[in-house]
Amino acid sequence: MDYQMDAVFDEESKCWSVSISGEVDIFNSADMKKSLTALINEKNTDMVLDCKFLDYIDSTALGALVGVLKNVRSYGGSIHLRNVKPSLSKLFKITNLDKVFIMEGDVND
């Protein structure tokens, strides 16, 4: 399974609103990083990733997200992760990335 990503710039909150669904792994994490970085390069703002329909991420996807976060932080911004499923939230907690990203809300598996 692959992933899908939809992004819009929210003029009201002045941040990128990105919905990610499917699976992000070693085969497509570089593409995801490239797409998210392109958004940040277009408008240097915060990013909100809605993970409600994200089913799976692996360590390469986590690394890609950290890379994007470094880029966002260079502009003084942050990345918010919303609606993270408990199974994925556990991965962020185990790796202590729940303290690096701003975690908002969760959904049940």
**Tell me: the pLDDT tens digits for 91-102?**
999 999 999 999
Q: Do the beta carbons of residue 80 and residue 47 sit within 8 Å?
A: yes
pTM, full prediction: 0.91
Q: Which fold has domain 3-106?
A: Transcription Regulator spoIIAA (3.30.750)
Query: Rounded mean pLDDT of 15-37?
Result: 97
Q: Do the beta carbons of residue 80 and residue 48 sit within 8 Å?
A: yes
Mean pLDDT of the chain: 94
Q: What are phi and psi of 93, to 5 degrees?
A: -70, -45
Q: Given the structure tokens 């932080």, which residue do they identify?
A: 73
> How high is the pLDDT of residue 49?
98
Query: Rounded mean pLDDT of 57-69?
Result: 96
